[in-house]
Structure formats: C-alpha cells, structure tokens
C-alpha cells in the first residue's frame, strides 16, 4: 500500500502511559503512519483510581483525548485509547476489559472508534485480612508482572504502580484494599489488547472510501430482513452488511460473508409465531 494517504504522516497519540509501544507498530507497518506520543494531562478525562469519575462514553472520551493531543501538538491526526473494566456484561462471576480506540482526521472530517470486549483481564480487587495468605489473589492479578494499587480504609490510593514484594508488604496492612493497576504500561494484558485493537484500526484505515478515498471505509451497520426459507417473509435476521464512510456518509451494502441467504423457519415470526 505505497500510496496510502497516511504514509509518512504523523498522528498525535495522547498518552501518559506508554501506549505507543502497543499502538505504533501495527499502524507503522500497515499504513506507514508515524505515531508520536504527546504528553497531555488525561486526568481531566477521569483517573484510573476513580478519584475523578469519567463523564461520557468510552468512545466519546477516546475521541476527546485524541483531539486534545492534536491541539497540544498541532498535528492534524490524533489517536487515543480508553479502557473500561468491570463485571462482564454477559458472563456471571467474570470481569471483562473493554478497550476503545478513537482516531480523528480533522482535515477529512473523519472520526472512527473501535472497541473490543475481552475476558482476558486481570481486573480484580481484594480486601486484606489479618494474617491471611495473599498469594492466591496475587497469582490471579498477575503480580508482579502486573502492578497493584493499595487503597486505605478511606478509599484513597496510598500508593500506585506497586510491582515488587518489598513495597507491597510495606503497604498491604489489614484493612487496606489491593486493586489491579489498570494503567496500560503497568499491565501487559491491557497492552496486548490495545495492540490487537490497533491492528484492527490499521486494517480499517487501510480501506479507502470508494466515493471520496478517505481512509477508514468499513462496516457501519447491518441490514435486517433475511427472508425465511419456507415462506419467504422478512425476518429479523441479518440480510446484508452495510459499509460506510464517516467522512462523506457514502454507504454500500454487500452480502453476508458467511454466504447465508435465508433464515430457518424456526426464526420466522410467520412460520413459528
């Protein structure tokens, strides 16, 4: 892809947390895009220890951070990532991580967000009891490759980025709470998830809009109404994939990639009410 519009262009990566290591290689390799870390104070967008809550969705926050990096650097392209962690939305007894990437191309009016839910997260916390063995929790949290935060009884962080046993035993008194430190550079599981998402972003940016040649052409929606194989009436099944351009709003539909062209009568409101 020698003629990609982003070859040799520079994009601001708004980050304090060393995410360039995960984000830059796929974008450089696939598009020739040069990712430049820009140190901005991302704490105003919500802090990882929860002392400043995030307002707005992860996608809106990622785009706002990307624009802040562009403003600080003067570059016309911006990237930022945002992580959310908590109980898994569908699976009981599990935590999930959601990574979101935002990409802004001010000149083309392009804004893209991608996100991925991952069960592979070490997100967890543990209240320290007197005389207890912490090893099972530490193993689950991936310590010391993954760092921890120690919070006092008042809920405020006493120390962050703890990645060695000497420091941990100094702070982990009974009554304190241990939490996984979810900042990307202290969390190899997150870095891997961000890297995978950056590869998806590179793949989507490599596709150019057939109408205006803006990068980022890809699926934006689906078309429902897959016909029933027995009676032919429209069902809620997906009939086609809709690709779109977020810059010029051009859209095209294409057949499902799995080749399915009809719905089972069991999924038809007419045949199986």
Interface residue list for Zn ion (CB under 5 A): 209, 211-212, 214, 228, 230-231, 245, 247-248, 250, 265, 268, 270-271
Q: How far is the CB of 235 from Zn ion (least distance, A)?
A: 7
Task: For Zn ion, give the closer residue by CB, 68 or 263.
Answer: 263
Q: How far is the CB of 180 from Zn ion (least distance, A)?
A: 41
Q: How far is the CB of 210 from Zn ion (least distance, A)?
A: 8
Separation of alpha carbons 107 and 76, rounded Å = 7
Task: For Zn ion, give the closer residue by CB, 96 or 245.
Answer: 245
Q: How far is the CB of 234 from Zn ion (least distance, A)?
A: 9
Task: For Zn ion, give the closer residue by CB, 129 or 272.
Answer: 272
Question: Cβ distance 120 to 193 under 8 Å?
Answer: yes
Task: For Zn ion, give the closer residue by CB, 112 or 149.
Answer: 112
Instruction: Give CA separation, 150 vs 49, 178, 204, in Å.
Output: 10, 5, 40
Q: How far is the CB of 247 from Zn ion (least distance, A)?
A: 5
Task: For Zn ion, give the closer residue by CB, 173 or 270.
Answer: 270
């Amino acid at each position: 892809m020698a003629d990609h519009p982003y070859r040799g262009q520079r994009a601001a990566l708004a980050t304090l947390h060393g995410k360039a290591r995960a984000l830059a290689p796929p974008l450089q390799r696939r598009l020739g895009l040069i990712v430049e870390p820009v140190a901005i104070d991302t704490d105003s967008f919500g802090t990882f220890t929860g002392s400043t809550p995030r307002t707005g969705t992860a996608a809106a926050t990622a785009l706002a951070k990307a624009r802040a990096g562009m403003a600080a650097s003067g570059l016309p392209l911006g990237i930022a990532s945002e992580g959310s962690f908590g109980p898994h939305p569908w699976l009981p007894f599990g935590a999930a991580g959601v990574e979101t990437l935002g990409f802004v191309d001010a000149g083309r009016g392009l804004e893209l967000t991608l996100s991925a839910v991952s069960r592979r997260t070490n997100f967890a916390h543990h209240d320290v009891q007197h005389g207890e063995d912490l090893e099972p929790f530490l193993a689950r949290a991936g310590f010391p490759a993954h760092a921890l935060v120690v919070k006092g009884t008042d809920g405020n962080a006493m120390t962050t980025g703890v990645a060695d046993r000497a420091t941990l035993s100094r702070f982990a008194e009974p009554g304190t709470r241990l939490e996984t430190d979810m900042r990307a550079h202290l969390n190899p599981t997150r870095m891997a998830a961000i890297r995978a998402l950056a590869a998806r972003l590179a793949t989507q940016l490599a596709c150019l809009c057939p109408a205006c040649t803006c990068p980022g052409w890809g699926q934006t929606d689906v078309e429902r109404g897959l016909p029933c194989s027995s009676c032919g009436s429209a069902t809620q099944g997906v009939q086609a994939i809709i690709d779109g351009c977020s810059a010029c709003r051009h859209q095209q539909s294409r057949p499902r990639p799995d080749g399915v062209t009809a719905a089972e009568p069991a999924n038809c409101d007419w045949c199986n009410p």
